[in-house]
């Protein structure tokens, strides 16, 4: 993917840098701040803010070309993960304001994730520890991809992208290599996630199975065969005990005992009949008492009616009891002079007296019935008490007879009951132990299934690494280009017949069979590092489907190379090679920083710094620039 930084502005100052396509250089003395400029370029592409104190808190702006689209990016140089980055697409209304790397409510995308989308880079999660299938997953960020696009001055002469001393960074470097060259495909990522889950289950089941096996081994139920034999023997013994128990006499058939049991049964029946009679008589007595109370109340009402008829019948109102006005005589015998209504028909006194006599007779009869019912209830209670005594005497005689009969079998019954309980408890323990063996067997089978699934997933992942024939071709092409660049730059060689390539296990450059960490020369390490990153870019530029962003920022390429004799010529060769590659591949932009001006001609100097004209202008510098303007 073509990526170009067109310009960089330190907002609030007069510092602004325009970059051209192809090769650009930034030069300046050690205190000129060229590394500070590189830090700003990295931050513009989503990198971590790691700047000099003079730049902390300042704001940078820049225009970035991604593919055919151009974006204006404004970012403040702070380490806060949710600091906002403003983005606007040139010649379009598209605009974003996103947190740098940490999502927060109201946002579904970060600036770094936005860069991944624009560059078409896959968002994958990889294990932190590749050798552990249960390792926690971590996302591959834009910084991890751009690792192959930056050479930092503090690392360029000592290591490859700051690895392998940094374990986590080294892991990400290797994963990015596999993603860029098709060794780590999306299918492989899915398979690895499945492998991680299977391995986690396998580890859990294995631990459980080992624990269960150890518990059984340390118990008296270690042998399943012995348990099965013991189970059969215990079941047979339990059947024998139960058969013998059923053979014991359960009843006493002595004639006297049988007669006593019949007497007890008859006495219980009579007691039940007496109890039912008591219940019925009690209910009847309660009903008679209620009836008597009702009749007495009715008699009292009749008495009040008769008294009212005799004493109140002759009252005649001549004045209104309410207002005191005289009551007029209407002369109508059938109309009440007070309420002027026709009085209701009332029974005569003789009728009321007859009714009262009848009610009194009913009360007397009810009293007689109550007396008879109470007497009957008393007799029933006496009869029950007598019958209860008889039942107790017969019961005592039956207990004595039964005790003398069963005393001969008591010990046998107790012994057989104890044997039956002991055998049942032992049989339950055997069944529990056999269930543990069955569980262990099931876990062992499940462990075997998971191991087969793990091996199949591992083999499938390995097949995905080599299923694409173009992968091998691109890796071979990488080796070839790396070798040719080493010769073009004239990097010192060690053995004529040894190969120079990219190691297939570590993905680190090897020069004439010698590993990078054994080059023993910082100047040689710089040249090898430049050839290494340039080889990746050339392979990417030759492959239209490559994912590597086509931009290189090389900080401090002149470090420890030397500026006299053969060393100077090698430095010139490196610059010529960089320029040639940008001429052959115009879509690649290279930004080189060095303390000294380029040792060759025809190189665009984007920014030239010095001790008196540093990247971060002082207040005096700003005043002088304004005066010159």
Tell how strand 150-151 and strand 551-555 pair up.
parallel
Q: What is the pLDDT of residues 525-574, one digit of tens each?
A: 999 999 999 999 999 999 988 899 999 999 989 878 888 889 999 999 99
- Residue 182, pLDDT > 90, answer no
pLDDT of amino acid 297 = 87
pLDDT at 405: 55
Please check whether residue 447 is in contact with residue 209, taking contact to mean a CB–CB distance below 8 angstroms.
yes
Torsion of CA 441, 443, 447, 448, to 10 degrees: 30
State the DSSP code for 80: -
In this structure, what are the phi and psi dihedrals at residue 221, rounded to the nearest 5 degrees? -115, 35
DSSP characters for 352-391? HHHHHHHHHHHHHHHHHHHHHHHHHHHHHHHHHHHHHHHH
Is the pLDDT reported for residue 476 higher than 80?
A: yes
Q: Report whether pLDDT(248) > 60.
A: no
Q: Report the pLDDT value the prediction gives residue 251, as an integer from 0 to 100.
A: 54
The pLDDT of residue 333 is above 60? yes
Task: Kindly indicate the confidence band of residue 43, based on its pLDDT and cuts at 50, 70 and 90.
Answer: very high
Q: Please compute the mean of the pLDDT values over residues 251-264 and round it to a whole number.
A: 72
Q: Which helix (H) or strand (E) holds 525?
A: helix 522-542
CB 34 within 8 A of CB 618: no
Mean pLDDT for the stretch of residues 444-460: 87
Tokens of 573: 């060769």
Structure tokens at 499: 């190969």
Which stretches does DSSP call E strand in 77-136?
Answer: 84-89, 95-99, 125-127
Q: What is the pLDDT, as a whole number, of residue 159?
A: 92
Distance (Å) of CA 332 to CA 45, 312, 313, 339, 467:
122, 21, 18, 13, 130
Q: What is the mean pLDDT of the chain?
A: 85
Rounded to an integer, the average pLDDT of 171-191 is: 84
Residue 404 pLDDT > 60, yes or no? no
pTM over 0.85: no
Residue 52 tokens, joined: 């000099």
Q: Of 377-381, 469-473, 477-481, which one has max mean pLDDT?
A: 477-481
pLDDT band at 325, cuts 50/70/90?
A: confident
The beta strands (E) that lie in 477-541 are given as 501-502, 509-511, 514-515
Upstream peptide bond of 483 is cis (omega within 30 degrees of 0): no
Q: pLDDT confidence of 326, banded at 50, 70, 90? A: confident
Between 621 and 585, the more confident residue is 585
Please give the sequence-ordered ranges of beta strands (E in DSSP) within 169-312, or none if there are none.
none
HEC string of 605-621 equals EEEECCCCCCCCCCHHH
Say how many CA atoms lie within 13 Å of 372 toward its Cβ.
8
Which percentage of the chain shows pLDDT scores above 90? 36
> What are 130-145's pLDDT values in tens digits?
777 667 888 999 999 9
- Percent of the chain predicted with pLDDT > 70: 87
Per-residue pLDDT, 343: 64
Q: Residue 58: pLDDT above 90?
A: yes
Question: Mean pLDDT, to the nearest integer, of 351-368?
Answer: 84
Q: Give the HSE-up count for residue 72: Cα atoms under 13 Å, Cβ half-sphere.
A: 9
Q: What are phi and psi of 563, to 5 degrees?
A: -130, 30
407, pLDDT greater than 60: no
Q: What is the mean pLDDT of residues 583-611?
A: 92
């Amino acid at each position: 993917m073509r990526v170009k930084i067109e310009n960089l502005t330190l907002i609030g100052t007069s510092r602004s840098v325009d970059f051209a396509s192809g090769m650009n250089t930034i030069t300046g003395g050690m205190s000129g701040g060229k590394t500070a400029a590189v830090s700003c370029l990295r931050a513009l592409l989503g990198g971590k803010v790691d700047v000099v104190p003079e730049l902390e808190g300042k704001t940078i702006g820049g225009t970035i070309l991604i593919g055919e689209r151009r974006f204006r990016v404004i970012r403040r140089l702070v380490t806060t993960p949710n600091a906002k980055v403003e983005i606007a697409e040139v010649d379009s209304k598209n605009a974003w304001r996103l947190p740098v790397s940490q999502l927060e409510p109201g946002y579904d995308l970060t600036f770094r994730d936005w860069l991944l989308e624009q560059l078409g880079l896959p968002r994958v999660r990889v294990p932190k520890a590749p050798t552990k299938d249960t390792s926690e997953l971590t996302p591959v960020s834009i910084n991890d991809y751009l690792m192959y696009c930056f050479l930092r001055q503090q690392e360029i002469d000592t290591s490859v992208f700051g690895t392998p001393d940094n374990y986590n960074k080294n892991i990400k470097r290797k994963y990015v290599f596999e993603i860029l060259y098709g060794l780590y495909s999306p299918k492989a990522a899915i398979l690895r996630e499945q492998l991680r889950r299977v391995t986690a289950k396998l580890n859990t089941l294995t631990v459980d199975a080992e624990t269960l096996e150890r518990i059984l081994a340390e118990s008296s139920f270690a042998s399943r065969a012995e348990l099965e034999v013991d189970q059969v023997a215990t079941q047979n013994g339990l059947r024998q005990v139960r058969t013998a128990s059923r053979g014991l006499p359960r009843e006493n058939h002595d004639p006297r005992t049988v007669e006593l049991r019949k007497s007890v049964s008859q006495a219980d029946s009579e007691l039940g009949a007496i109890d039912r009679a008591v219940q019925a008589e009690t209910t009847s007595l309660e009903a008679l008492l209620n009836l008597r109370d009702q009749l007495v109340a009715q008699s009292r009402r009749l008495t009040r009616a008769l008294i009212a008829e005799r004493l109140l019948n002759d009252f005649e109102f001549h004045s209104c009891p309410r207002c005191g006005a005289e009551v007029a005589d209407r002369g109508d015998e059938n109309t009440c002079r007070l309420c002027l209504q026709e009085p209701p028909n009332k029974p005569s006194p003789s009728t009321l007296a007859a009714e009262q006599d009848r009610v009194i007779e009913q009360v007397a009869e009810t009293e007689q019935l109550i007396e008879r019912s109470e007497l009957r209830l008393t007799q029933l209670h006496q009869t029950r008490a007598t019958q209860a005594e008889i039942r107790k005497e017969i019961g005592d005689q039956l207990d004595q007879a039964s005790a003398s009969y069963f005393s001969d079998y008591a010990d046998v019954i107790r012994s057989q009951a104890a044997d039956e309980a002991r055998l049942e408890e032992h049989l339950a323990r055997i069944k529990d132990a056999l269930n543990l063996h069955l569980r262990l067997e099931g876990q062992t089978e499940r462990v075997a299934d998971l191991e087969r699934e793990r091996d199949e997933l591992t083999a499938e992942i390995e097949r995905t690494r080599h299923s694409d024939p173009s992968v091998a071709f691109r890796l071979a092409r990488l080796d070839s280009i790396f070798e040719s660049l080493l010769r073009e730059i004239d990097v010192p060689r060690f053995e004529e017949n040894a190969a120079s390539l990219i190691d297939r296990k570590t993905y680190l450059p090897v020069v004439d069979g010698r590993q990078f960490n054994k080059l023993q020369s910082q100047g040689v390490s710089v040249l090898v590092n430049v050839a290494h990153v340039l080889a990746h870019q050339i392979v990417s530029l030759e492959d239209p489907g490559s994912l590597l962003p086509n931009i290189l920022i090389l900080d401090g390429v002149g470090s420890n190379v030397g500026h006299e004799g053969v060393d100077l010529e090698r430095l010139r060769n490196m610059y010529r090679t960089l320029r040639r590659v940008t001429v052959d591949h115009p879509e690649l932009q290279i930004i080189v920083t060095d303390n000294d001006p380029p040792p060759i001609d025809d190189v665009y100097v984007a920014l030239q710094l010095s001790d008196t004209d540093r990247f971060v202008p002082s207040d005096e510098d700003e005043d002088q620039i304004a005066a010159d303007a």
